[in-house]
Chains A and B, each alone.
Chain A
Amino acid sequence: MSWVDRFRVQGVFWRQFLRWAVLNVPLWLESVVIATWTLFFLLWGPGRRGVMRNLSAILPGSSRVANFFRAYRVFWNFAWTITDNVRFKEQRVSPDWEFVGMENFERLQSHAGGAIILTAHMGNYDLGAHLFSEVSGRQIVMVRAPETDPRTRQYEEELHGRTVGEGLRVDFSTRAHDLAIDLLHGLQRGELTAVQGDRVTEGLSSMEVTLFGCRTRIPSGPFALSMTARVPIFPLFIFRLGRRRYRLVACPPLHVVRTRDREEAFARAAALWTENLEEVVRNAWYQWFTFTPFSPELD
């Protein structure tokens, strides 16, 4: 890797720069600073085009010009969420929260055994996981895809190690087989596992679904785990309502019932999950942080 790579969009420089900004920029100036730097990152062509193509599917009939401005809104929300995330890790500053589907959230908290929290790349899933582990006092394992850049990966792992509390453990989805075994054992021990179910990491098992009329793939791991460990899946979404205000939406649990036809059981559960996901993303497209086309049909 050359020294130039650290300045690519996924390079480690921007993570270090964000941390530096969080520690040094006066908080009463952050809105203007974030607005300015969001404009700068809109120059990132592949990301901007990816968002615009996704928007053309989420909002059929939308114009390219309008989607360009919508892309700015997506980038703006993303900038705020990653800033809030770093600020929480470095300064233990949290936003205000509001809960929707409180009965489902309480059901999740009081659920005696293990459970899977299925979420999407929306709002601030990192902060939501921290909040949940703080409020509930339960151990959560958060599965995430590792960073593509090795220096960024190392930086993020060091940051997690230094700043994450005991109630939250992060595990990376590239460990495929070993991870599945570990998660299964964890669920059987009564742990909660948080997984993002709207994007597939290369090398992991996936299944085809239809999202906004386009073919796409989602991870099949959560459904397989739910069936094997006989634990419910709780769809959970986190939305940014504004500066330091988030909404946590807990949906009714899904159960992947073990039948003779494994594929049919998966397909049914995935259809329910996709229905939830479509409704949520259609209403809050400005919070879906998917910077590549979600379907090959959009490429």
Chain B
Amino acid sequence: MEFIRGRCEARWLPSRYNFAIFRLAALVRLSVAMRRPEPVDPRRLFFVDRHQSVFENYAVSLWLTATAGCFLASWLAPSLGLAPAFAVGLPLAAILLEIPVNLSGLLLAPVWSAVFRTPSRDRHRVNGFVLLLVVFIAAVDFAGKPGWAAFAGWQVLALFALNGAAAVAMFAMRGHVAALEKSFGGVPSAS
């Protein structure tokens, strides 16, 4: 485990974020923060893990649920009406999003781990890829159809494209990012 003690700007380290959009935004935020660093607070310990960000975690969760809810609502609206379709679709989306994850976790991830000899603790990456693939395919389908749900499809595709562009930018700046992260030090714990 690696942790950084006292330096509050550490919460903006790109390595604490998962998706490229958020890593790029964090890099910008960190650059601004480092111009006027906060006083060192020895009472704070920051851990470096790519899923550490609260904002990113909630933003992606809610965005996925809202998007899946829109897709479901557009499918239910002809029979229920728009408002009831949303009332049913949004909570149903929160449950149905778990289906591809469970199926992948039971069927695909164990095979992947066995074939590529990856540790079991990385299965969530495989399942995450499968879920995003399902969302992407649904978005392509809805984007091509007439009606309000096309917007839900297009915003997914736009965000995927934006994330791709951010990934290219982060790759181009990888040397600068690595040097910046290294300047924070980081103290390994006993484990």
Interface residues of chain A, those whose CB is within 8 Å of chain B, are 20, 23-33, 35-36, 90-100, 102, 133-135, 137, 165, 167, 242-245
Residue B136 at the chain A interface, CB threshold 8 Å: no
Q: Which of B111-135 contact A (CB under 8 A)?
A: 120-121, 123-125, 127-128, 131
- The minimal Cβ–Cβ distance linking B112 to chain A, given in whole angstroms, is 12
Contact A24–B54 (Cβ < 8 Å): no
Interface residues of chain B, those whose CB is within 8 Å of chain A, are 1, 3, 11, 18-19, 42-47, 49, 51-52, 54, 56-58, 60-62, 64-65, 94-95, 97-98, 101-102, 104-105, 109, 120-121, 123-125, 127-128, 131, 189-191
Contact B45–A97 (Cβ < 8 Å): yes
How far apart sit A295 and B153, CA to CA, in the bound complex (Å)? Answer: 55
Contact A96–B47 (Cβ < 8 Å): yes
Besides A23-B120, A25-B124, 5 new A-B residue pairs in contact (Cβ under 8 A), listed by A number: A27-B124, A28-B51, A28-B60, A92-B1, A102-B43
Residues of B near A244 (CB, < 8 A) are 47, 52, 54
A96-B45, A98-B43 given; A24·B105 CB < 8 A: yes
Q: Which of B18, B56, B105 contacts A20 (CB 8 A)?
A: B105
14 A-B pairs whose Cβ atoms sit less than 8 Å apart in the complex: A24-B109, A24-B124, A24-B127, A27-B128, A28-B51, A28-B56, A28-B128, A30-B61, A32-B62, A92-B1, A97-B44, A99-B45, A134-B190, A165-B191
- The minimal Cβ–Cβ distance linking A133 to chain B, given in whole angstroms, is 8
How far apart sit A100 and B44, CA to CA, in the bound complex (Å)? Answer: 10
Contact A29–B190 (Cβ < 8 Å): no
- The minimal Cβ–Cβ distance linking B167 to chain A, given in whole angstroms, is 16
Contact A137–B190 (Cβ < 8 Å): yes
Contact B61–A94 (Cβ < 8 Å): no
Contact B57–A30 (Cβ < 8 Å): yes
How far apart sit A3 and B97, CA to CA, in the bound complex (Å)? Answer: 29
Closest to B93 in A: A32
Number of A-B contacts (CB under 8 A): 110
Residues of B near A243 (CB, < 8 A) are 54, 57-58
Contact A24–B123 (Cβ < 8 Å): yes
Residues of B near A133 (CB, < 8 A) are 190
Closest to B58 in A: A31
A94-B1, A165-B190 given; A32·B52 CB < 8 A: no
Residues of A near B120 (CB, < 8 A) are 23
How far apart sit A36 and B62, CA to CA, in the bound complex (Å)? Answer: 13
Q: Which of A35, A100, A165 contacts B94 (CB 8 A)?
A: A35
Residues of B near A27 (CB, < 8 A) are 18, 51, 57, 124, 128
How far apart sit A160 and B18, CA to CA, in the bound complex (Å)? Answer: 29
Residues of A near B109 (CB, < 8 A) are 24
How far apart sit A192 and B61, CA to CA, in the bound complex (Å)? Answer: 41
Closest to A137 in B: B190
Residues of A near B98 (CB, < 8 A) are 25, 33, 36
Residues of A near B121 (CB, < 8 A) are 23, 90-91
How far apart sit A90 and B124, CA to CA, in the bound complex (Å)? Answer: 13
Contact B43–A29 (Cβ < 8 Å): no
Residues of A near B56 (CB, < 8 A) are 28
Closest to B59 in A: A28
Q: Which of B44, B60, B104, B190 contacts A98 (CB 8 A)?
A: B44
Contact B49–A93 (Cβ < 8 Å): yes
How far apart sit A31 and B54, CA to CA, in the bound complex (Å)? Answer: 10
How far apart sit A133 and B191, CA to CA, in the bound complex (Å)? Answer: 10
Contact A29–B64 (Cβ < 8 Å): yes
Q: Which of B43, B101, B105 contacts A99 (CB 8 A)?
A: B43
Contact B42–A102 (Cβ < 8 Å): yes
Contact A245–B54 (Cβ < 8 Å): yes
Contact A134–B44 (Cβ < 8 Å): no
How far apart sit A211 and B109, CA to CA, in the bound complex (Å)? Answer: 50
Closest to A106 in B: B42
Contact B47–A26 (Cβ < 8 Å): no
